[in-house]
Amino acid sequence: MKRSKKSLEKLALGSTDTQYPDAYNPKFLEAFANKNPGSEAWTTFLCSEFTSICPKTGQPDFARITINYVADKSMVESKSLKLYLFSFRNHGDFHEDCIQTMCNDLVKLIRPKYLEVIGEFTPRGGIAIYPFSSYANSSKKYKNLKESRFASYGPGSFTMPFSRIY
């Protein structure tokens, strides 16, 4: 399957005029065809410098965002994801809402077999917040995966196996 160079606008060769967003915008996200839709391969993105704005105080919130997914027919283009995540920089929303928004936007874009978004926000006032959102397609296999992964993040048993990959 040949990929069109025109279809990935953010990745254009020789592009030195990248426009960085100043407001949340899911239209920055781009996808490309998965050459191996029958495979069971995990893709992990780790953004260690995510920032957004607290909607109450206007103060910056800092986090490490981990996105894990098993692609179906489409995959996320990484530079477009970087610009998309950057678009949250001046976006005022609570931690949980940022993570849920990311999950919803990515599901809408690529319709993966499975996807999870994990946020590890820097503590404020002595409290750390680690929101988790996930999606599974209608396959029983991925619904079971979602249930088991979600259970592993339950109260008192917080572990993040994929986010510890450096």
Domains in the chain (CATH in brackets) are 26-152 (3.30.1130.10)
Q: Which of 17, 22, 47, 54 is catalytic?
A: 54
Instruction: Specify whether the CB–CB gap between 152 and 136 falls below 8 A.
Output: no
Its pTM surpasses 0.85: no
Based on the residue annotation, tell me whether 17 is a catalytic residue of this protein.
Answer: no
Which residue would you say has higher pLDDT here, 68 or 141? 68
| pLDDT surpassing 80 at residue 64 | yes
Helix (H) or strand (E) holding 63: strand 60-70
Ramachandran assignment for 46, one of left (phi > 0), alpha (psi -120 to 50 degrees), beta (any other): beta
The predicted pLDDT at position 115 comes to 96
Distance CA 160, CA 152 (A): 8
Based on the residue annotation, tell me whether 97 is a catalytic residue of this protein.
Answer: no
Q: Which of 78, 43, 46 is nearest to 65 (CA)?
A: 46
Distance CA 22, CA 88 (A): 8
pLDDT > 90 in the chain, percent:
63
The predicted pLDDT at position 11 comes to 57
The predicted pLDDT at position 50 comes to 96
- φ, ψ of residue 161 to 5 degrees: the values are -60, -40
Distance CA 133, CA 122 (A): 18
Give the model's confidence band at 75: pLDDT under 50 very low, under 70 low, under 90 confident, else very high.
Answer: very high
Average pLDDT of 85-100?
95
Which residue would you say has higher pLDDT here, 163 or 94? 94
Q: Which of 22, 47, 61, 103 is catalytic?
A: 61
